[in-house]
Amino acid sequence: MTTAAEDMREQVRRHYAQSALAVTAGSSKSCCSDAAGFGEALYDDEQRGELPEAAVLASLGCGNPIAVADLRPGETVLDLGSGGGIDVILSARRVGKNGIAYGLDMTDEMLALARRNADQAGVHNAIFLKGEIERIPLPAESVDVVISNCVINLSTDKPAVLIEIARVLKPAGRIGISDIVAENHLSNEDRAARGSHVGCIAGALSIAEYEAGLEGAGFDHVSIELTHAVADEMHSAIIRASKSG
């Protein structure tokens, strides 16, 4: 018998598999198709011009982590829930030939789409891995920067995700994450009333929960900047922090 968490993970996997197949067929579908503030419009014209059309169509996130991650040549960056590869491709170009951009996704269809997109973009320092963000298949202290775009809210074990991020980051490594957060007074029931888990809403942490989770996982200089509303009293946010040295 499967657990509720396993059932939810499978719902998420199926949803994103369907999204990848839709993109392959030439259409697009955001993770939160009923809400404003998601997808390719969050990337500027120059960034979209760097990408194959299928990568742009596959943009399902709630922000633009590349705009805040301050990636530098030679760095190793990891994108959690890399989807169609848009942020990995952009990251790979910014860290250059001496850097590496990893993309981690649990969905075979998304991984296949991302690899095709990277090939079409002529990016050779992007590596796509199959796995779950609660169990990152990389060694400890192997990554300079972790990014993610509207994915951590989908996890059913967010403390495990934050601990894994801290594990794979090098000392003083940093995060630049876009995610959905709830205002602190909203209960779990309030969040569920505003949207589904697979739709990026019901599973969101509150601002205070996110801050406490990052600090508990060993992060300093935690900041959460709200960018735009995605539902009543729920927001897309830019989350920054650095691993304690």
Per-residue pLDDT of the chain (245 residues; tens, 9 = 90+): 678 777 777 776 777 667 665 665 555 554 444 444 444 555 545 454 555 554 554 455 566 778 788 899 999 999 999 988 989 999 999 999 999 999 999 999 989 999 999 999 999 999 999 999 999 999 999 999 999 998 999 999 999 999 999 999 999 999 999 999 999 999 999 999 999 888 788 899 999 999 999 999 999 999 999 999 999 999 999 999 999 87
What is the pLDDT, as a whole number, of residue 28?
A: 53
Number of domains observed in the structure of the chain: 1
Beta bridge partners of 134: none
Give Cβ neighbours of residue 229 (< 8 Å, ≥ 6 apart).
37, 235, 236
How wide is the angle at C-alpha 99 spanned by C-alphas 95 and 104, nearest 5°?
90
Q: What is the pTM of this model?
A: 0.86
Tokens of 188: 């779990």
Q: For residue 151, what is the domain's CATH number?
A: 3.40.50.150
Long-range contacts of 156-163 (CB under 8 A, 24+ apart): 156/4, 156/5, 156/8, 156/9, 156/203, 157/5, 158/205, 158/213, 159/213, 159/216, 159/217, 160/134, 160/135, 161/80, 161/133, 161/134, 162/213, 162/214, 162/216, 162/217, 162/219, 163/217
The whole domain housing 234 covers 4-243
